[in-house]
Amino acid sequence: MLTSTLLAAATTPLQWNPTVGVIMILCNILAIAFGKSTIKYPNSEPALPSSQFFGGFGLPALLATTAFGHILGAGVILGLHNLGRF
């Protein structure tokens, strides 16, 4: 019973294309910009090598913002796929 319900709810698989990559990059940039303005201690230890390339972030802030960017990107991509845009 449960298997047939899950199969009925399944959608077509999402194929990767350059648009998906661009959306993920834009979501990560948005997350980094949001993190830059809201993280209280963005340069906490351990520091990154050449931190000027990472906006002055330390490792924890960089990992946090990029993780948030990937979660945001996955939601946007799956939402657009569900709406039929992909």
Q: Looking at per-residue confidence, does 40 or 27 come out higher?
A: 27
Q: Is the sign of the CA dihedral 54, 60, 61, 66 positive or negative? A: positive
Give CA–CA dist 51/49, Å, rounded: 5
- In this prediction, residue 69 carries a pLDDT of 96
pLDDT grade, residue 73 (50/70/90)? very high
Phi/psi of residue 79, nearest 5 degrees: -65, -45
Residue range 19-37, pLDDT digits in tens:
999 999 999 999 989 988 8
Domain ranges of the chain: 29-86
Give CA–CA dist 28/20, Å, rounded: 12
* Nearest alpha-carbon partner for 31 in 59, 78, 73: 73
